[in-house]
């Protein structure tokens, strides 16, 4: 069984490509079913955030990447030949290393940000609920979560409040001299919106409106930060008063359109407005940039703000890498040992067959014994065979992690005269 990753992120693809490959949580159950049941993958999990869309796969040797690519072609209507250069494909050691780095936050746009750890956990939980992960991906994701926790507990990689949300608020502070004179609106009431509301409140924003499809959630968040909750349908009537609008929802459509801003700007009499779209897919129509006195930034535009804060955290990467290598060594030892499972099973099967053959040869003699005596002999033979195999099986598991392990395992097969399984032919 091979461990594979097919994905793209903020380093390989711009937001307009990433949003086409986004998998909101509501879409993931169907996608996971398709990957495992329709495209023949043994296990699958989808990590989809504003910075990345990645498929984690367990598949038979020579199988997996082509099927995953075809899944994206079929479900996301993309031309893989044109967009292929945005993707990376990783196998086994590289795939595991990548996820461990992601969980530690050193592959994020905001170095060391903590939200990614919750997103990795959510990816695992969603896949488990939908039955698309089994032994391999469950172990991989559990170990990546442990690695991410260690990185944050044992280093300063997550020290401070640097995040997409803080970058958005800092950008607003660069555009407006004094946020305490500004009125802001948040679109969405999820985890990222809540963080943004917190930092806006800490920046002494004059007033805060939170617009959400679920008014109860908008009111709940507004109460925490002395704001006002409104239904998303009421947003357009509030735009004229807003100086700052920050959008972060899972919507696949534009929530703020060109016409909405065009109309509100006619009433604002030239007063500038700042819009920050930290959603993927984007929530704000990028054509809005063409309107006078409108300043629109998307998540990729936040890179400059983030870069200015990276130096302190970059010093921690080396310490994080030591943790990753430690955890990776344990995972790969476990993973490599999985490959010995077939050989171990074959040896046990051969031992059982030989025992049955010998018992059959002595059937006439054994039938003269009492049932409990016959049972005792069978148990003695089985115990003897298990003890005889114990040391070879211990060595087999060790061979799996040695440089010439494949040669040694093949030698074991020859010594015990156990044939290699023949790979199934494609139909």
Please tell me the distance from the alpha carbon of residue 261 to that of residue 292, in angstroms, as a whole number. Answer: 10
Task: Say yes or no to pLDDT of 392 above 70.
Answer: yes
pLDDT at 423: 47
What pLDDT, in 10s, does the model give residues 240-285?
Answer: 999 999 999 988 889 999 999 999 998 988 889 999 999 999 999 9
Task: Say yes or no to pLDDT of 24 above 70.
Answer: yes
The average confidence (pLDDT) of the chain is 88
Report the 3 state secondary structure along 119-148: HHHHHHHHHHHCCCCCHHHHHHHHHHHHHH
* DSSP bridge pairs for 8: 53
Peptide bond into 281 cis (omega under 30): yes
Please tell me the distance from the alpha carbon of residue 297 to that of residue 276, in angstroms, as a whole number. Answer: 5
Task: Say yes or no to pLDDT of 237 above 60.
Answer: yes
**421 versus 61: which is more confidently predicted?**
61
φ, ψ (nearest 5 deg) of residue 178: -140, 105
pLDDT at 188: 93
Task: Say yes or no to pLDDT of 422 above 60.
Answer: no
pLDDT at 417: 78
- Checking phi first, is residue 40 left (phi over 0); if not, alpha (psi -120 to 50) or beta? left
What pLDDT, in 10s, does the model give residues 336-367?
Answer: 776 666 766 777 787 788 888 888 888 888 78
What pLDDT, in 10s, does the model give residues 99-156?
Answer: 999 999 999 988 888 889 999 999 999 999 999 999 899 999 999 999 999 999 999 8
- For 292-307, what is the mean pLDDT? 88
User: Of 98, 97, 65, which Cα lies nearest the Cα of 84?
Assistant: 65
Region of poorest pLDDT, from 111-125, 300-314, 397-411: 397-411
* pLDDT band at residue 48 under the 50/70/90 scheme: very high
Question: What is the topology classification, in CATH, of domain 2-160?
Answer: Beta Polymerase; domain 2 (3.30.460)
CATH architecture of 164-308: 3-Layer(aba) Sandwich (3.40)
Task: Say yes or no to pLDDT of 412 above 60.
Answer: yes
pLDDT at 352: 82
What pLDDT, in 10s, does the model give residues 183-201?
Answer: 999 999 988 899 899 999 9
> Cα dist. 406→68, 91, 328, 342, 384 in Å?
28, 18, 21, 13, 28
pLDDT at 351: 79
* pLDDT band at residue 95 under the 50/70/90 scheme: very high
Q: Is 365 exposed, middle or buried (0-12, 13-18, 19+ CB in 10 A)?
A: exposed
Contact 21, 76 (CB under 8 A): yes
Task: Say yes or no to pLDDT of 405 above 60.
Answer: no
Task: Say yes or no to pLDDT of 425 above 50.
Answer: no
User: Of 8, 5, 89, which Cα lies nearest the Cα of 43?
Assistant: 5
pLDDT at 426: 45
Which of helix, strand or coil describes residue 316?
coil
The tokens describing 253, both together, are 């459509």
- Checking phi first, is residue 210 left (phi over 0); if not, alpha (psi -120 to 50) or beta? beta
Q: In terms of DSSP bridges, do strands 244-247 and 273-277 run parallel, antiparallel, or are they unpaired?
A: parallel
* DSSP state letters, 185-229: EEE--SHHHHHHHHHHHHTT-SEEEEEESSHHHHHHHHHHTT-EE
φ, ψ (nearest 5 deg) of residue 319: -70, -40
Per the residue annotation, which of 32, 50, 230, 239 is the catalytic one? 50
Question: Which residues, at least 6 apart from 105, have a Cβ–Cβ distance to it below 8 Å?
Answer: 111, 112, 113, 114, 116, 117, 148, 151, 152, 157, 158
**pLDDT above 90 coverage of the chain, percent:** 59
The tokens describing 119, both together, are 């997103």
* pLDDT band at residue 295 under the 50/70/90 scheme: very high
Please tell me the distance from the alpha carbon of residue 418 to that of residue 406, in angstroms, as a whole number. Answer: 15
Distance of CA 216 to the CA centre of its chain: 30
Is 182 among the residues known to form the active site? Answer: no
CA angle at 179 for the pair 284 and 216, rounded to the nearest 5°: 55
φ, ψ (nearest 5 deg) of residue 231: -70, 150
Q: Where are the domains of the chain?
A: 2-160, 164-308, 339-415
**pLDDT above 70 coverage of the chain, percent:** 92
pLDDT at 33: 97
């Amino acid at each position: 069984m091979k461990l594979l990753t097919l994905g793209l992120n903020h380093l390989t693809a711009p937001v307009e490509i990433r949003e086409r490959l986004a998998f909101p949580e509501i879409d993931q159950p169907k996608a996971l079913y398709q990957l495992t049941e329709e495209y023949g993958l043994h296990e699958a999990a989808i990590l989809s955030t504003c910075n990345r869309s990645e498929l984690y796969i367990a598949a038979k040797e020579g199988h997996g990447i082509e099927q995953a690519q075809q899944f994206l072609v079929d479900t996301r209507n993309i031309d893989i030949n044109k967009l292929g250069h945005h993707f990376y494909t990783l196998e086994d050691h590289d795939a595991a290393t990548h996820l461990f780095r992601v969980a530690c936050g050193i592959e994020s746009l905001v170095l060391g940000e903590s939200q990614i750890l919750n997103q990795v956990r959510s990816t695992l939980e969603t896949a488990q609920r939908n039955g698309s992960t089994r032994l391999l991906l469950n172990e991989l994701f559990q170990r990546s979560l442990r690695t991410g926790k260690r990185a944050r507990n044992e280093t300063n990689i997550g020290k401070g409040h640097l995040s997409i949300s803080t970058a958005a608020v800092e950008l607003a502070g660069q555009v407006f001299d004094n946020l305490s004179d500004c009125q802001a609106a948040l679109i969405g009431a999820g985890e990222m919106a809540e963080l943004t509301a917190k930092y806006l409140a800490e920046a002494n924003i004059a007033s805060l409106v939170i617009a959400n499809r679920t008014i109860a959630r908008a009111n709940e968040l507004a109460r925490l930060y002395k704001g006002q909750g409104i239904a998303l349908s009421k947003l357009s009537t509030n735009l004229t008063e807003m100086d700052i609008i920050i959008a972060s929802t899972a919507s696949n459509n534009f929530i703020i359109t060109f016409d909405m801003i065009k109309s509100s700007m006619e009433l604002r009499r030239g007063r500038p407005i700042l819009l920050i779209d930290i959603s993927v897919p984007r929530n704000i129509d990028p054509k809005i940039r063409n309107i006078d006195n409108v300043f629109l930034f998307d998540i990729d535009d936040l890179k400059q703000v983030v870069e200015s804060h990276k130096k302190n955290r970059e010093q921690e990467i080396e310490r994080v890498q030591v943790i990753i290598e430690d955890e990776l060594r344990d995972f790969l030892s476990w993973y490599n040992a999985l490959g010995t499972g077939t050989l171990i099973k074959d040896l046990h099967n051969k031992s059982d067959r030989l025992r049955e053959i010998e018992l059959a040869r002595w059937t006439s003699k054994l039938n003269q014994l009492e049932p409990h005596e016959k049972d005792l002999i069978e148990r003695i033979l089985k115990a003897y065979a298990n003890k005889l195999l114990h040391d070879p099986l211990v060595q087999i598991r060790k061979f799996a992690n040695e440089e010439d392990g494949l040669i040694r395992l093949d030698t074991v097969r020859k010594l015990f005269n156990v044939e290699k399984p023949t790979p199934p032919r494609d139909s």
